[in-house]
Structure 1
Amino acid sequence: MELLGLDILLIGFFVGFGLLIGVLFGFFGMGGSFLVTPALLVVGYPAPVAVGSGLAFVFGTSVIGALRHRDHGQVSYALAAVMSLGLLFGIEIGTRIVFLLAGLGSADVVISAVYVGLLSAVGLFVLRDARTADSDVETGRVATGVLAIELPPMVSLSGGATVSVWVIFVVGSGIGVLSGCLGVGGGFLLLPVMVYGFGVPTAVAAGTSVLQILISGAFGTFVYAQSNAVEIPVVAALLVGSAFGARIGVSATRLVNEADLKGYFAGMLLAGGAATACKLASDVYGVEPLETGSVVLIFGTAVLVSGAIVRTSIAALRTNRQSGSPRTH
């Protein structure tokens, strides 16, 4: 039986996966496309369609999450405004790169390889920070170096930092290029950049990231849709599930401590990188078990981390009720 051109079981699968991604999105302040795009590649969609559909999913989830984070006061509008200008500029460049690679017949391999390297590098960095006792000192050093660049005009951010508008724009442009190339809203890069580079509190960085992803996702979707590179039924099924999951994830950010948040974030990135690497190796060397392994990694990790977030939040709620005081980061 089919609905909107998709098998009913496949639709159910995408709805369930969307629910898990929604939890992760609300929790980490990311559109979830860093898992959605590799997942669509693993399932067998062409690279441009996987990228375009990932961006469309990003846009839909961001609308939900941005409203929730706004309600909690976890958005820095000044930072979001400047960074978004850079993101839009970079996305246009990144999109052109993807279609150039597609014309050369190398888009799948190149995009997968970049995913592996980027997710692994960022994941290892965040994991090291989460597991190191002097992580606050290291974070402060990075932020101090960035804040030392005083090119006017300057903008004041949440947490007391003052950053050059030009620095924010250049960083946003770089992330935008990757967003346009990889079909991501850029959340898995925006979050660590704001926390480690600009000294923004993690919860505020998550909320600000969601607002920026909304803007970049809308623009990226429009660009890819012009080339019919967005699979609407898949995106719709994912959004149905994520609408419920996002509410859970956003609420969890107020209950889980910062070290745990960073640890979960690192685990998701490393799993996404490993899954994409398995898929790439399977395509290049024809090893079927590796393709199965990539599917297990990408979807199994989403289940495990989403479950861990919900379990930790429930435990925190119980502790709060017993102590009679709210828990903060």
Structure 2
Amino acid sequence: MDVLGLSLPLLLLFVSFGFMVGVLFGFFGMGGSFLITPTLLILGYPAPVAIGSGLAFYFGTSVIAVMKHYDVGQVDYRLGAILFVVLSIGIELGSRLVFALEALGIAELVTGVAYVVLLAGIGLLFLRRASNLDDVSDDEADEVSDEEIPAIGQKIQSYTVPPMVTLTSGGRASFWTISGAGGVVGLVSGLIGVGGGFMRMPAIYYLIGTPLTAAVGTSLFAGLFSGAFGTFTYGASGSVDLVVVSLLLVGSALGARIGSAATTIVEEDDVIVYFGIMMLLASAGIGLSELANWLGTGALDMLSVVLLVGSSFFVASIILYQVAQQVGTTGPNAQATLDGDD
């Protein structure tokens, strides 16, 4: 039996997948389009439709999660506004490149390879950061936790190339560093059809040098506008599947608020580990999909879907478990945090 043109199992998959991605979105500051877009590609949707639908989903979930992060003061509005401008320019250039690659018939291949490399690289970067934290003593770990900014971010901030931008977190960053990081993220976002949160949040954290919680909130704020711009760009060409996007948003509406609240509960070290694991699992899933297309093996294609979707379910389940555990331990106080109360 089909509902809204989709089989019932597929409909349930999109709603539940949307919920889990919503949890990850609110928690990590990324819209999940890096999971949505390749999943739609694996399910047989054309590249422009998969990309446009991923960006549209990202925009919808951005509205929900930004409201939650605004409640807890985790948004740098000045930084987010600058990033929005350079992200929009990059997305426009990237989207033009996608349609050119589609005309050549290699858009899916380029998108898949880019995903594998980017996700694996970012995953390894975060796991290396977590490993470095594990290697230091307890006193040193407390000192690192207090600084909240990785060494590379502090090093980049030491180069004062004017004009300088004062960050809400107290530091300062060069306008050119912000523009360079945002422009590259925007270009790749438009090229591979993601809101860019899985790149933008690490860029804000590592390159611009803000605390992790502020990087998450600011990433969401910048993505709110860049997602809207990307959705308009692809929607104008009819490359957005409104049925799929709507089903995903139904599930993510609740998940995004839970994930946003969880950033005040779960330890930062755990956030870094979870993010790195999810990136590597997603990279492996997309890599298997590309290998399946090359070999023409349906079994590998199915395994890639399991890895890609399963990675989000696995990490989101861990986050939900920790939230439930914290709520059960502290009772009404934790529940008030989840509800957005002071």
TM-score class, shorter-chain normalisation, is: over 0.9
Q: Does 1:15 align with 2:8?
A: no
Q: For 1:236-255, what aligned pairs fall within 5 Å after superposition?
A: 236-255=246-265
Identity value in percent = 45
The answer to whether the Cα contact below 8 Å between 1:14 and 1:234 also exists between their aligned partners in 2 is yes
1:233 aligns with one of 234, 243, 248: 243
Q: For 1:249-268, what aligned pairs fall within 5 Å after superposition?
A: 249-268=259-278
2:33 maps to what in 1? Answer: 33
1:149 maps to what in 2? Answer: 159
The answer to whether the Cα contact below 8 Å between 1:150 and 1:163 also exists between their aligned partners in 2 is yes
The change in CA–CA distance for 1:8 and 1:210 in structure 2 (over 3 A counts) is same
1:207-237 deviation per Cα after TM superposition (whole angstroms, max 9, x unaligned): 1111111111100011111111111100000
Q: For 1:57-206, what aligned pairs fall within 5 Å after superposition?
A: 57-133=57-133, 134=136, 136=144, 140-206=150-216
Q: Which runs of 5+ in 2 are unaligned?
A: 338-342
My pick for the range that moved more, 6-15 or 179-188, is 6-15
1:306 maps to what in 2? Answer: 316
The answer to whether the Cα contact below 8 Å between 2:286 and 2:304 also exists between their aligned partners in 1 is yes
2:303 aligns with one of 270, 278, 293: 293
Q: Which runs of 5+ in 1 are unaligned?
A: none
Q: Partner letter of residue 294 of structure 2?
A: V
- TM-score normalized by structure 2? 0.90
- How many residues align? The count is 326
**1:132 match: secondary structure:** helix
Kindly state the Cα deviation for residue 16 of structure 1 after the two structures are TM-superposed.
0.9
The change in CA–CA distance for 1:138 and 1:250 in structure 2 (over 3 A counts) is closer
2:340 maps to what in 1? Answer: none
The answer to whether the Cα contact below 8 Å between 1:158 and 1:201 also exists between their aligned partners in 2 is no
The change in CA–CA distance for 1:314 and 1:89 in structure 2 (over 3 A counts) is same
Q: Partner letter of residue 2 of structure 1?
A: D
Q: Partner letter of residue 106 of structure 1?
A: I
* In 2, Cα distance between equivalents of 1:19 and 1:125: 27
1:207 maps to what in 2? Answer: 217
1:129-162 deviation per Cα after TM superposition (whole angstroms, max 9, x unaligned): 1122358499643113321332322111133210
Kindly state the Cα deviation for residue 105 of structure 1 after the two structures are TM-superposed.
0.3
**2:169 match: secondary structure:** coil
2:281 aligns with one of 271, 279, 286: 271
Q: Partner letter of residue 291 of structure 2?
A: A
The answer to whether the Cα contact below 8 Å between 1:38 and 1:272 also exists between their aligned partners in 2 is no
2:230 maps to what in 1? Answer: 220
The answer to whether the Cα contact below 8 Å between 1:159 and 1:199 also exists between their aligned partners in 2 is no
The answer to whether the Cα contact below 8 Å between 1:33 and 1:54 also exists between their aligned partners in 2 is yes
The answer to whether the Cα contact below 8 Å between 1:59 and 1:214 also exists between their aligned partners in 2 is yes
The answer to whether the Cα contact below 8 Å between 2:177 and 2:207 also exists between their aligned partners in 1 is no
Q: Partner letter of residue 254 of structure 1?
A: T
